[in-house]
Amino acid sequence: MKVTLPPALRDEIEQLHEDYAETMDHLDIKAWPSYFTDDCLYLVTSRENHDAGLPHGTIYCEGLAMVRDRAAATLDCTVFEPRHLRHFIGRPKVDAIDGDLVRTRASVLVMESVSDKEPHVLIVGQYHDVLRRGPDGLKFKERRVVYDNYRIVNSLVFPV
């Protein structure tokens, strides 16, 4: 089950995690789709659903077009209170390397700060990722954000 990870690959995965986190923490939603492959899956779901094999997603995007649509909707249509996110990501664990695909997981804590309230836990859980190497480096073929928390406080405006 455990895969020995070449240090250069670990470094590359950690860098990807941090670049993604930095992009989202700057609410740079326009850059968000650039992290995904054309045939990607982006899913935010509860641990309860994930463990039961249920497909429901708090956010569900199948394919890059849906990711772009979500980004456009967030930027142009959604009305929400201003907020800031801050991601904290654990050391990545690699479950398998299959050809150009890398299956990894990492713990994630996303804190959300809004005005007039104390910062709260937006998401605490784990990323379940499938990465594919392409000409621009590693991209997410799948990013499943599986959250432990019982519910999302208020709403999930930005992707995490």
The answer to the question of residue 25 lying near a second copy (CB under 8 A) is yes
Q: Which listed residue (126, 131, 142, 143) binds a second copy by CB under 8 A?
A: 126
The answer to the question of residue 121 lying near a second copy (CB under 8 A) is yes
Taking CB under 8 A as the rule, which mask of x and - marks residues 48-87 in contact with a second copy? ------------------------------------x-xx
Q: Which listed residue (31, 59, 66, 124) binds a second copy by CB under 8 A?
A: 124
Q: Hey, what long-range contacts does 60-64 have (CB within 8 A, 24 or more apart)? A: 63/38, 63/39, 64/33, 64/36, 64/37, 64/38, 64/39, 64/40
Residue 11's CB: how many other CB atoms inside 10 A?
Answer: 11
| Min CB(98)–a second copy separation in Å | 21
